[in-house]
Chain A
Amino acid sequence: MTAMRVDAKVVMLGKESVGKTSLVERYVHHRFLVGPYQNTIGAAFVAKPINVGDKVITLGIWDTAGSERYEAMSRIYYRGARAAIVCYDLTDSSSFLRARFWVKELQTFEEHCKIYLCGTKNDLIKADRSARQVDYHDVTDFADEIGAQHFETSSKTGNNVDELFMKVAEDFSNSAFELMPEEKGVDLGQKKDSYFYSCCHN
């Protein structure tokens, strides 16, 4: 028996200090921690069950560190992910360049991963419109081009956060349903659970 039954792997990507951790914190713990910035070390994992229709889907969320130091490691976090939330800071245009980089990475290595572009710190824009450095329409165009969903959120106020993760869960639920028939049935030719028992380090 395993403790963690995770249906969908979701990975958070984006430049450091765009607010990936805050987004997860808001969604999972419904809180926003004010205080000095603390960067994530490596990555943090949280499992979060969510109701979609009459089903419960558990999202396994990987909150990765934005620091370049961990970049080479990042692939282990997004590999096999069903959804990637690529974050950028609405008030920092360089963070959007970084988001484009992640999108390219995902398209190259993880074509089955659905991409969600997420502009963070929406509240700052609402307080002062001139703070916006990433144009809304530029992003929607880009999102259309790559077939991604686009959200603008605020972890401080909670604006759009639940909607974002709900959409992720719904999309997964729908796609999982489509895929179901293929994965059914037992392949007798295949070795039983060979992945788990193979001594791959020898």
Chain B
Amino acid sequence: MAADVHNKGVTWDAPNGSLVPVDRLRSERSDSPTPGLVQGTEPGAGQEHAMFMHAQSFEDLAAESESNPDSDQAEDQSVLGESQEASEKEGEEEEQRGGAEPEEEQKDQPEENQKQHQKQKQEVQTGVRGKEEDVTSEAWRRHRKHVFVLSEAGKPIYTRYGTEEALSTTMGVMMALVSFVEAEKNIIRAIHADGCRVVFLHKSPLVLVGVSQSSQSDRELSRELQYVYYQIVSLLTLTQLNHIFQHKQNYDLRRLLAGSEHLTDSLLRLLDRDPGLLLNAVMSLPLSSSARDVVSTSLQAAKAKSLVFSILLAGNRLVTLVRKKDQYLHHMDLHLLFNLVGSSSSFREGEGWTPICLPKFNTAGFFHAHISYLEPKSDLCLILVSTDREDFFNLSDCKRRFLERLRKRSAYQALQEAVQTPTYPVSQVGIPELWHFVYKSKSSGLYTSPELPVPYQKEEEHERLIGLYRYLHSCLHHPTRPLRSVYRCGDTENLFAWVSTITTAAFNKQV
């Protein structure tokens, strides 16, 4: 029976775990949630006496990213601004864009507001999997960015478009290329051909391949593949991944990943659209500092021994984050959590309790996350990350205490009002002709950005805009020739980007 195989192959389960305080189980409870990990080496362990601290400045979240020295080179602030020429040009722009844009498979309506956007996103991500694409068709080939994941035995694990089965020969060829080059003690990084870039990332036991027709550099594509790799690790842990493939080289990993494809799909969409993943930063919810302080202290007060991170989200924006002393949450891990919550309606049903590996923290073990919305219809989602998989009811109680305190101190009202207006128009910054901007504060690891103005609300325009930011970002953080400021006049808009050492921000005006 299928399950038996799994049980034999994967022994990372501790034989006994319970969410119910049953007295007779007491003696069995010393098992580590992940065998192979000695108790005390699992993530966050050894901090029994640590105080709970509020990550005031959030600084640690913007921690270095190993594969991407970008943010290290960045100085204090980087500002990417963008303005658009006078509107009479717009008609002509539309035409140009229409012709240049590759076909997009998942067409959303232009988003009116955050909520609607969210809803559509969910529709898209679940709908797309349903309609299977013909992988031999021209439409399939024309997708702007393909992502494939395969095992070292050449078995398909994930494809962004189409079905894995239909691509087994293609993936076999990919694996052959990787092996062929590696046989000579070399590493294949990329192939450039015919307007396509094929980027390889070999992270044993997985091989990731990105095929792009966009202008993204190999480094950027490789970084996106890393995200996908970490997404998979976050579901299974690297320990388990290695274990599986050591025992059975040609294991079909899709069995274990079943139902998680939409997480990877959604992550790839975030990479295409969310500047946060580009900037190694998260967006914060605009909120008065006094209200945020109340929220933070309330969250701080609701602590439990096993609780490592408490994160309050409003949609895709961070309200506050509280962490255990000396424990840092990497922005990549935070993005994975954002993606998990944002792409699953499952947590609206009740209180979620799920194992999750935060790969930047530790690839070997699972945390256990208590995920719940503060109210059924609310956008406010609380994530409590714990080291103890039996601590569900304790964490559930933390949430109750947090809510109680929040209500008592009447901060809840302010918070709910802030959630109603999560965005602001670009006009609020008072710079005429400015169309859109992104501002990241490096010290806090947060960024802010106004709502998308009309010309960028269409999905392909949105992605084009992100593409422009990506270009500016790559100029500022070029590995050998980083720039301090960039100004570019384009056909449809003028771009300006600036890395500043002092806290000054500047934007361009219309030319």
Binding site for B on A (CB under 8 A): 2-4, 9, 16, 21, 24-25, 28, 35-46, 61-63, 65, 67-73, 75-77, 79-81, 97-98, 101, 194-196, 198, 200-201
Contact = CB atoms under 8 A, between A and B. Distances in A.
Interface string B10-31: 1011011111111101100110
Contacts of A81: 20
12 contacts: A24-B349, A24-B350, A35-B123, A35-B126, A36-B123, A39-B346, A41-B340, A44-B349, A63-B349, A68-B2, A73-B13, A201-B48
A47 B259 CA distance: 26
B26 A194 contact: yes
Contact of B258 (A2, A68, A72, A75): A68
B349 A69 contact: no
Interface in B489-510: none
Nearest to B393: A4
Given A3-B396, A68-B256, A101 B3 contact: yes
B109 interface: no
Contact of B20 (A9, A16, A38, A43): A9
B259 A65 contact: yes
A77 B23 CA distance: 16
A80 B345 contact: no
B349 A71 contact: no
A18 to B, nearest CB: 13
Contacts of A73: 13, 17, 355, 389
A30 to B, nearest CB: 13
B1 A101 contact: yes
Given A67-B259, A68-B2, A195 B23 contact: yes
Nearest to A61: B350
Contacts of B2: 68
A117 to B, nearest CB: 18
Nearest to A75: B17
Contacts, number: 147
A76 B400 contact: no
Interface residues of B, number: 60
Nearest to A25: B349
A71 B255 CA distance: 12
A40 B255 CA distance: 16
Smallest CB-CB A-B distances: 10 pairs: A42-B354, A36-B126, A72-B13, A76-B17, A39-B259, A46-B350, A80-B20, A44-B350, A79-B18, A3-B400
A43 to B, nearest CB: 5
Contacts of B349: 21, 24-25, 40, 44, 46, 63
Contacts of B123: 35-36
Contacts of B393: 2, 4
A51 to B, nearest CB: 21
A198 B130 CA distance: 50
B175 interface: no
B352 A69 contact: no
Nearest to A28: B350
B39 interface: yes
A128 to B, nearest CB: 21
A110 B47 CA distance: 34
B236 A69 contact: yes
A106 to B, nearest CB: 13
Nearest to B256: A69
B351 A45 contact: yes
B347 interface: yes
Residue with the highest number of chain A CB atoms closer than 10 Å, among B20, B21, B45, B262: B20
B404 to A, nearest CB: 9
A120 to B, nearest CB: 16
B397 interface: yes
B388 A201 contact: yes
B257 interface: yes
A169 B415 CA distance: 39
Nearest to A82: B20
Nearest to B235: A69
Nearest to B349: A44
A3 B13 CA distance: 30
Given A3-B396, A80-B20, A200-B30, A21 B39 contact: no
Contacts of B235: 69
Nearest to A98: B3
Contacts of A43: 352-354
Contacts of B12: 72
B97 interface: no
Given A25-B349, A44-B346, A46-B349, A69 B20 contact: no
Contact of A44 (B13, B22, B352, B369): B352
B113 interface: no
Given A36-B130, A68-B2, A79-B25, A46 B258 contact: no
A194 B27 CA distance: 11
Contacts of A71: 3, 6-7
A35 B123 CA distance: 8
A46 B18 CA distance: 17
A187 to B, nearest CB: 10
B258 to A, nearest CB: 5
Nearest to A62: B19
B127 interface: yes
B1 A38 contact: no
Contact of B18 (A72, A76, A101, A194): A76
B260 interface: yes
A76 B390 contact: yes
A21 to B, nearest CB: 6
Contacts of B15: 75
B229 interface: no
Interface in B357-390: 369, 388-390
B253 to A, nearest CB: 10
Nearest to A45: B351
A25 B352 CA distance: 14
A45 B353 contact: yes
